[in-house]
Amino acid sequence: MTKDLTITKEYKLFINGKWVDALSGRTFESINPGTGETNAIVAEAGPEDVDLAVKAARKAFEKSSWALMTPADRGRLLYQAALKMREKTEFLAEVESRESGLTIRETLNIAIPETISVLEFYAGLANKVQGETLATSPDRLNFTLKEPLGVIGAIVPWNFPLMLAMWKIAPALAAGNTLVIKPAEQTPSSILELMKIFQEVGIPEGVINIVPGFGAVTGNALASHPDIDKLAFTGSTNTGRIIMQAAAKNLKPLSLELGGKSPNIIFSDADIQNAVNMSTFGIYFAQGQVCAAGSRLLVQDAVYDDFMHAFLKKTQSIKVGNQLDMSTLMGPQVSNAQLKRIESYVEIGQKEGAHLLTGGERYEGAGNGYYYTPTILENVTNDMTVAKEEIFGPVVSVIRFKDEEDALTKANESIYGLAAGVTLSEAYAWLAV
């Protein structure tokens, strides 16, 4: 589909406005999960590179033209980057799909356009940051002044690499901060391509620094760096815990966006076909690798058979295949490690008494990638592992309920609280996170 844009397959670190090798000279490979082949060779930042990146971000925050830029100019610069992203939507979609396994339909229609919308939103917000004046006695003036925090350390996951990075980049930049970003080791390419766009629109050196590498070394170096002012993380609950501990040691504020096991509730008065469509989207979108996935499907007894009949049919009709094929509805999982996690969950589910209604195996029809079949586990109860833990794959756990009270009890029986869905007759409610 993309004709005139070649895909760079070698990337360096981006520190202080320059593309540089890691001081150690180390590199790692990212994989195309649709084929299992190498997708890109990427410089691997060590702690010493992370330190240089933080120093560059500090200097840019305090001394560069960025520090002196008016909010309106900052907003304009972000907006120019958004415009360039729009021009390169197809290219970015392809880069993102090749490495993450998101289907080209997903990146072209949702992931990339939504990422651009996020940037546009914050571009518009840059000059609308306001404080307050507070009522007080006549001899006092009491007001709040909002200022940028400083250097933001961002650690992002692989499921929506560009969007989840942008959720951190755009607000941080709009407010006048600088950033050091560690992409997920599986998916650094699209974020590095985004950096080229920011370069083209003239972002001052040091404002954004990108340090690809692995969590335990590169991520840990950033999370425990004493000279960042805030950490922002999206990823697994376990890693969130580790990052919180690292931040606690230096008393750094942080924001965490972690996992979910979200209930998607189908009441007996739902429009069945609509409920089926939204439930399908809810669990199979992005190969089930979504923090807000509707991974616990709660279905009311009164419509159980009708709903499940249609849902099974729809599930079995999903076309699995290479993520770059426009007709593919479900692509590969992001990695072999994730594929194995999914397999083990489905096995545990069955051992604990869940019934495998469909799927439950690798998909072999699309080559050497990490493909899994859309999978339904029935007769699940909330005490089972597959109802408690985030599987992060195309596996839905179906739980029956009797009435509204039963639905609420079962929906809330989870350590998570990220999202929830209720199927109404015109259902989009479940997208509301």
Q: Catalytic site residues? A: 257, 291
Shorter beta-carbon distance to ligand NAI: residue 300 or 338: 338
* Distance of alpha carbon 176 from alpha carbon 163, whole angstroms: 20
Taken as a whole, the chain contains a residue count of 433
Q: Minimal distance in Å, beta carbon 35 to ligand NAI?
A: 20
Contact letters (x/-) for ligand NAI, 387-406, by CB under 6 A?
---x-x--------------
Q: Minimal distance in Å, beta carbon 134 to ligand NAI?
A: 38
Which residue, among 377, 193, 158, 386, has the nearest Cα to 287 in the 3D structure? Answer: 158
Q: Minimal distance in Å, beta carbon 16 to ligand NAI?
A: 22
Window 211-240: residues binding ligand NAI (CB under 6 A): 214-216, 219-220, 223, 234-236, 239
* Distance of alpha carbon 21 from alpha carbon 213, whole angstroms: 12
Q: Minimal distance in Å, beta carbon 214 to ligand NAI?
A: 6
Token look-up 């756990």 returns 397
Token look-up 């651009």 returns 116
* Distance of alpha carbon 398 from alpha carbon 229, whole angstroms: 43
Q: What angle do CA 386, 343, 265 make, to 5 degrees?
A: 35
Shorter beta-carbon distance to ligand NAI: residue 217 or 329: 217
Site size toward ligand NAI, by CB under 6 A: 26
> By CB under 6 A, which span of 13-21, 35-43, 154-162, 319-327 interacts with ligand NAI?
154-162
Shorter beta-carbon distance to ligand NAI: residue 246 or 299: 246
Window 240-299: residues binding ligand NAI (CB under 6 A): 242-243, 258-259, 291
> Does the footprint of ligand NAI cover residue 184 (CB under 6 A)?
yes
Token look-up 């922002």 returns 232
Shorter beta-carbon distance to ligand NAI: residue 259 or 374: 259
Strand order in the sheet with 296-300: 355-358, 375-378, 395-401, 296-300, 263-266, 421-422
* Distance of alpha carbon 152 from alpha carbon 181, whole angstroms: 8
Find the DSSP H helices in 101-249: 104-106, 112-125, 161-174, 189-200, 220-223, 237-249
Shorter beta-carbon distance to ligand NAI: residue 221 or 266: 221
Q: Minimal distance in Å, beta carbon 280 to ligand NAI?
A: 20
> Coil, helix or strand for 153?
strand
Contact letters (x/-) for ligand NAI, 195-214, by CB under 6 A?
-------------------x
* Distance of alpha carbon 76 from alpha carbon 228, whole angstroms: 26
Binding footprint of ligand NAI on the chain (CB under 6 A): 155-157, 159, 182, 184-185, 214-216, 219-220, 223, 234-236, 239, 242-243, 258-259, 291, 338, 341, 390, 392
